[in-house]
Amino acid sequence: MSDYRVLPGPEHFLPPAAASMGIRLPNPGEAHINGVIAPEEKAYEEAARQFLMAKVPTIFPGPLVLWAWNEKAAKKATAIRHLFNTLKECVQATQKPMLIPMPDYRPKYPKINPEVEINPNHPNLTIWHNKIDCCIFIGVHCHQANLSLKIIRGGTSCYTIAMCAQAGHEDAMLSFRDASVDKIMRLAETIKRLKGTVQPPLSTV
Amino acid sequence: MSKERIQISEALYDIMPSDYQDLVKSSTYGKEDRGWKDIGTSKELIEQHSLCAGCPESMAFRYILASLPNPEDTVMVGSTGCTSLVFPMVAVHNIHSLFGNQNAIASGLKRALSVRFPDRIKDVVVLAGDGATVDIGLDMTLQAWFRQEKFTTICFDNELYANTGGQESGLMQKGFVAKMAPVGKLFEKVRLPEIARESGCHYVVNCTVSKPSLVEKVIRNAVHIAREIGPTYLQLYTPCILEIGKNSMEGLQEMRDSEKPTERFAYKEYVSEPAKQLLAELAAKDKERKAAAKQLAGQASA
């Protein structure tokens, strides 16, 4: 097993793909935390803790859930809204949860508006602008999520979580696989359950 | 085919940027009579653009996107150049290709779409600059025409490599001196419209984009003919105002000056016999449809 760990960056300008460093994807029923395979239950708790500790916990829904291209997508969108509402209820007044869409994958010139959207080709702009320190990707196509997660790891100190509908993402610090409405709801429940057990760091600003 | 295919999830509607909300609310997807007149009153499938102020290419983009007969089922293939900066703002499926490869990419794409969606009309439109079409990609351009690939090729002819500071291109006029071509062009502008005709294109037009109604007509003709018969080619003059030393407001006049009867962009059109027949059939159908609509409107008001 690889000694490499997928940790918050900034790693360096061109971080290696975690897969090339020996990180492997979880099997069904498992997840990975920092590149180490873990039971899914443990990952729910770790993801919830990271959200509850972050100053700006953020959900990034992608095109697969933003557009109601089938019934399942619309249901996932509703679950994501529930997750966001739960997060808002469970954090303290000093924390600022955000819900920022990734509606498009094409690089936008001359620049995107980082207050209202994130783009996979320069996700760091949105992370920096909003001072996001923990985020979750849901409904982003795998190749775009991989690109984006690597850029975030390379240039920011943001903790990244992937709720992947396929086999998961090595380049996230924590990754679920086989995302479904139930899994999103379960993450919301875990956040609710762990509310008050962890604190956000004291602000130095 | 309609806007039903582009619905935003209700639960996340409020967080979508306004461009996308506008697209769903007021784009002209599914509208049979869409055209340049929709510009300004509906979403014309382009938002802001990243071209220079007053760039005729941006006008051309708006007219073309407003005129595509079937935007929801159209895929545009672009290439390196100023056009590739606009495609991210365009609400039509598009693919960026390697410099010059656009017609080869479009050939494969058109064939794949025909296999994947045999019961649905899928249009492919190549849109590239003169460097990609005539210099670097001439091989791919011609081979696609020789093979009678069923898609439209549009060349935005600004007569030089504008995006990289003004180098000489094959479509530059003889004697022209550009910033990075100080000696002046030594040979004549390549006569691609004539080459297109001889290479098997069924519809070829050489014009400027000063008249939106004309752009609408040639785009619709080109797409319909390519869909049914074979390759079509449009060469549209979109001068680079920066590289020819004009101001933002002078692009339109430059095009008007260049389309006079003796000038190089005087309107020229070639239509093959099968294409003429198709256009006549389409015109007859259109007339019929409009008469029926008029009759229906008359009955409703009576």
B257 φ/ψ angles, rounded to the nearest 5 degrees: -65, -35
Residues from chain A contacting residue B9 (CB–CB below 8 Å): 65-68, 73-74, 76-78
Pair B140, B100: CB distance under 8 Å: yes
pLDDT-derived band at A115 (thresholds 50, 70, 90) equals very high
ipTM rounded to 2 decimals: 0.94
Quick check: bond before B71 cis, omega within 30? no
Cα–Cα distance measured from residue A63 to residue B103, given in angstroms and rounded to the nearest whole number: 29
Pair A98, A125: CB distance under 8 Å: no
HSE-up (13 A, CA, CB side) for residue A204:
1
CA torsion through residues B9, B10, B14, B19, sign:
positive
pLDDT-derived band at A204 (thresholds 50, 70, 90) equals low
Which tens digits make up the pLDDT trace of B52-78?
Answer: 999 999 999 999 999 999 999 999 999
Pair B143, B172: CB distance under 8 Å: no
Task: Look up the pTM and report it.
Answer: 0.85
Mean pLDDT over A173-185 rounds to: 98
Cα–Cα distance measured from residue B291 to residue B302, given in angstroms and rounded to the nearest whole number: 16
Of 3.30.70.1110, 3.40.720.10, 3.10.290.10, 3.40.50.970, which CATH number belongs to B31-271? 3.40.50.970
Say if the Cβ atoms of B12 and A81 lie within 8 Å: yes
Interface mutation vs chain B, best among A58, A60, A65, A66, most B CBs within 10 Å: A66
Interface mutation vs chain A, best among B6, B10, B12, B82, most A CBs within 10 Å: B12
Mean pLDDT of chain B: 94
Model confidence at B298: pLDDT above 90 = no
Which residues make beta-bridge pairs with B234? B154, B205
pLDDT-derived band at B1 (thresholds 50, 70, 90) equals very low
Q: Taking a contact as any Cβ pair under 8 Å apart, which residues of chain B between 280 and 299 contact chain A?
A: none
Lowest-confidence region among A27-31, B35-39, B297-301: B297-301
Which tens digits make up the pLDDT trace of B151-170?
Answer: 999 999 999 999 899 999 99
Percent of chain A whose pLDDT exceeds 90:
88
Residues from chain B contacting residue A69 (CB–CB below 8 Å): 7
Say if the Cβ atoms of A108 and B88 lie within 8 Å: yes
- Tokens found for residue B5: 């295919």
Model confidence at B45: pLDDT above 90 = no
Which tens digits make up the pLDDT trace of B255-264?
Answer: 999 999 999 9
Lowest-confidence region among A32-36, A56-60, B27-31, B120-124: B27-31
Say if the Cβ atoms of A77 and B89 lie within 8 Å: no
Per-domain boundaries in chain B: 31-271, 274-302
Say if the Cβ atoms of B88 and A107 lie within 8 Å: yes
Say if the Cβ atoms of A68 and B10 lie within 8 Å: yes
Quick check: bond before A110 cis, omega within 30? yes
Per-domain boundaries in chain A: 32-194
Residue type, B17: P
Cα separation of the two ends of chain B: 31
Which tens digits make up the pLDDT trace of A116-150?
Answer: 999 999 999 999 999 999 999 999 999 999 999 99
Percent of chain A whose pLDDT exceeds 70:
97
Cα dihedral angle (A62, A64, A68, A69), rounded to 10 degrees? 150
User: Which residues, other chains included, contact B113 with Cβ-Cβ below 8 Å and sequence gap of 6+?
Assistant: B75, B122, B124
Which tens digits make up the pLDDT trace of A28-68?
Answer: 999 999 999 999 999 999 999 999 999 999 999 999 999 99
Cα–Cα distance measured from residue B14 to residue A101, given in angstroms and rounded to the nearest whole number: 10
Closest CB to B15: pick one of A74, A101, A107.
Answer: A101
Interface mutation vs chain A, best among B15, B22, B23, B90, most A CBs within 10 Å: B15
Distance from CA of B212 to the nearest CA of A (A): 26
Residues from chain A contacting residue B8 (CB–CB below 8 Å): 66-68
CB atoms within 10 A of CB B98: 14
Q: What is the pLDDT of residue B99?
A: 94
Q: Taking a contact as any Cβ pair under 8 Å apart, which residues of chain B between 10 and 29 contact chain A?
A: 10-12, 15-17, 20
- The domain A32-194 having CATH identifier 3.40.50.20: the answer here is no
Model confidence at A95: pLDDT above 90 = yes
- Tokens found for residue B12: 């996340």
Say if the Cβ atoms of B12 and A101 lie within 8 Å: yes
Largest Cα span, chain A: 45
Residue type, A93: A
Q: Is B253 on the interface with A (CB under 8 A)?
A: no
Q: Is B8 on the interface with A (CB under 8 A)?
A: yes
Say if the Cβ atoms of B15 and A99 lie within 8 Å: yes
User: Which residues, other chains included, contact A4 with Cβ-Cβ below 8 Å and sequence gap of 6+?
Assistant: A18, A21, A22, A23, A35
Pair A59, A84: CB distance under 8 Å: yes
The secondary element (H helix, E strand) that includes residue A49 is helix A40-53
Distance from CA of B16 to the nearest CA of A (A): 6
Pairing relation of β-strands A57-61 and A98-99?
A: parallel
Q: What is the pLDDT of residue B207?
A: 98
B288 φ/ψ angles, rounded to the nearest 5 degrees: -60, -45
Residue A63 zone, left/alpha/beta (φ > 0; ψ -120 to 50; rest): alpha
Distance from CA of B20 to the nearest CA of A (A): 8
Cα–Cα distance measured from residue A97 to residue A83, given in angstroms and rounded to the nearest whole number: 11
Residues from chain B contacting residue A117 (CB–CB below 8 Å): 17
Residues from chain B contacting residue A66 (CB–CB below 8 Å): 8-9, 12, 16
pLDDT-derived band at B84 (thresholds 50, 70, 90) equals confident
Interface mutation vs chain B, best among A64, A88, A109, A126, most B CBs within 10 Å: A109
Search chain A and give the residue with CA nearest B11: A78
Model confidence at B25: pLDDT above 80 = yes
Mean pLDDT over B106-130 rounds to: 97
Search chain B and give the residue with CA nearest A119: B88
Mean pLDDT over B247-254 rounds to: 95
